[in-house]
Amino acid sequence: MKKQNQISEKSYKASGFIGRYQKLVTETVIPWQEKILWDEAPDTEKSHAIANFINAGKALRGEDTGDGFYGMVFQDSDVAKWIESASYSLMNNPDPELEAELDKVIGYIAGAQDKDGYLNTYFTIKDQDKRWTNLHEAHELYVAGHMIEAACAHFEATGKRTLLDVMQKNTECIYDHFVTKNNPGVPGHPEIELALMKLYRITGDKKALELCAHFLNKRGQDPELFIREADHRTWSVWGSNPRDEGDLEYRQCDKPLRELTRATGHAVRAVYLYAGMADYASETEDKELQGACGRLWKNIVERKMYVTGGIGSTVLGEAFTVDYDLPPDTAYAETCASVGLMFFASRMLENELKGEYADVMERAFYNTVLAGMKLDGKRFFYVNPLEVNPGISGIAVTHKHDLPVRPKWYQCACCPPNVARLIESFGKYAYGENESTSFCHMIASGKVVFRNGMTLECETDYPHGMKVKYTVKGNGKLAVEWRAGSSRAL
């Protein structure tokens, strides 16, 4: 299919406002997170994430695993997102020392991969016999998705296949289990869908595309799937029960995806899933899936999104609730959810060149994603309320989650590396292209070199100033998505 808009440009060298944020991530956030992953950061919760990979390698070799596994069941994803943000940083600012550090960590990851391609430190160190038996809670496919995204970014940045080969082998393992052997299951936490689309585009691996289709097509076809899975096991990670009222809607598996009309459940999982749906739909021209994505988008932005671009209004399950339930003082509005909303918007732009998608990306980025990180790069909001009440917020039981001050790194650290990877890859969302036209979706100072032969330089103080100057070189046209939602070719 000839796409209307590809989300990836050849290169973007940021300056101005975005350049300053990328500099902060490169010089402060990435080194700080690396220290955390190695448990070397003072006064910070233990991560143990890299040690988990080292110990998993020992387990596979039959050696003593020492202090074993520590952390959340999805702890591997912290390393994956750090690799992804560090890889994007290398695209913007080549750094031999950082590249060598990535090579070392990737070596530990490769050493933790089982001979059949399986890769997950929790199940390799603790429960090898329980693999694939708790998709409802255990995040195996979610972790694999983040590792695939990291592999794609690392290959784009360095041309090295070290991690890409690991994750292609892991994808083969997953494909064999769910497609070839037809074992039942879909991701309890969607994410791998959008990752598989990245892998397919980079490698041309048809199995990645087929596996994405498999998970999308199977989801919701059998609403009792997780219930039967729970009936066949005697263990749990979180103690959640798929028989609980609303659990199927919460996990976006109550009906086939092409029948969905409204956004439900865990907000991050939802927009990760919807991004994968939109991505697959644009690649395959699946009109039914495109229609579902359009309905879900409309439901979110017209009925369930804060003015800041925050989504997921309740702390109970970090979830969407009913239409127009958007309290300012008890808002959850997880930073990761707005990152995911940007993913969804960018994939919708692949299906339809419409300024509304770019407007929502911009709103979420400036008001929630950036707000999720302090300017020192070491403190982060997980929750983004619109209103803080002194003496109540962070204290009263109803407002415990709404903190007035950004905390340091925490053990469930999905948001900080998510912010870092998005800032470093900002050009992929600000600019797009097809064979003849280049698109500017968000105003961003810097220079862009497109694959279609065009070069664009943007000079602006935006968002602090409204004057924008574009200098365009090369053949083709440049389309700028203006705030009114129309597009204009320069």
- Tens of pLDDT along 437-481? 889 999 999 999 998 888 999 999 999 999 999 999 987 676 665
Q: pLDDT tens for residues 79-92?
A: 999 999 999 999 99
| Higher pLDDT among residues 390 and 415, named by residue | 390
Residue 240, both tokens = 């959640």
> What pLDDT does residue 488 have?
38
pLDDT for 11? 85
- The DSSP code sequence of 294-335 is HHHHHHHHHHSB-TTS-B--BTTTTB--STT---SSS----H
Rounded CA-CA distance 440/78 in Å is 31
- Over its C-alpha atoms, the chain yields an Rg (Å, rounded) of 21
More confident residue, 118 or 394: 118
Question: Residue 44's pLDDT is what?
Answer: 82
Tokens of 272: 């990760």
Give residues with Cβ within 8 angstroms of 385, minimum separation 6: 328, 329, 330, 331, 333, 393, 402
pLDDT value for 42: 86
Q: Single out the residue of 42, 217, 238 nearest to residue 136, CA to CA.
A: 238
Instruction: For 131-167, write each residue's pLDDT tens digit.
Output: 999 999 999 999 999 999 999 999 999 999 999 999 9
Higher pLDDT, 417 or 108: 108
Residue 452 tokens, joined: 């279609």
Average pLDDT over residues 24-36: 94
Mean pLDDT over each residue of the chain, to the nearest integer: 92
Q: Which helix (H) or strand (E) holds 489?
A: strand 487-489
- Of 420, 427, 388, which is closest to residue 404 (Cα–Cα)? 388
Mean pLDDT of 272-287: 97
What pLDDT is recorded for position 406?
77
pLDDT over 90 for what percent of the chain?
80
**Single-letter amino acid code for the residue at 300:** I
Q: What is the pTM of this model?
A: 0.94
- At 483 the pLDDT is 43
> Is residue 403 very low, low, confident or very high in pLDDT (cuts 50, 70, 90)?
confident
Give the residue from 93, 80, 83, 84 showing the smallest Cα distance to 27.
93
Question: Considering the chain, what percentage of its residues have pLDDT values greater than 70?
Answer: 94
Q: What is the pLDDT of residues 309-355, one digit of tens each?
A: 999 999 999 999 999 999 999 999 999 999 999 999 999 999 999 99
* Number of Cβ atoms within 10 Å of the Cβ of 452: 17
The mean pLDDT of 27-35, rounded to a whole number, is 93
Catalytic residues, which ones?
318, 414
Question: Considering only 31-40, 204-213, 354-363, 427-436, which range has the smallest mean pLDDT?
Answer: 427-436
Beta-carbon-side half-sphere exposure of residue 20 (alpha carbons within 13 Å): 8
Asked if residue 286 lies in contact with residue 294, where contact means CB atoms within 8 angstroms, the answer is: no
Residue 39: which residues within 8 A CB-CB, separation 6 or more? 46, 47, 48, 51
pLDDT at 10: 66
Give the model's pLDDT for residue 412.
61
47 pLDDT above the threshold of 60:
yes
DSSP code per residue over 422-476: HHHTTHHHHEEE-SSEEEE-S---EEEE-TTS-EEEEEE-TTS---EEEEEESSS
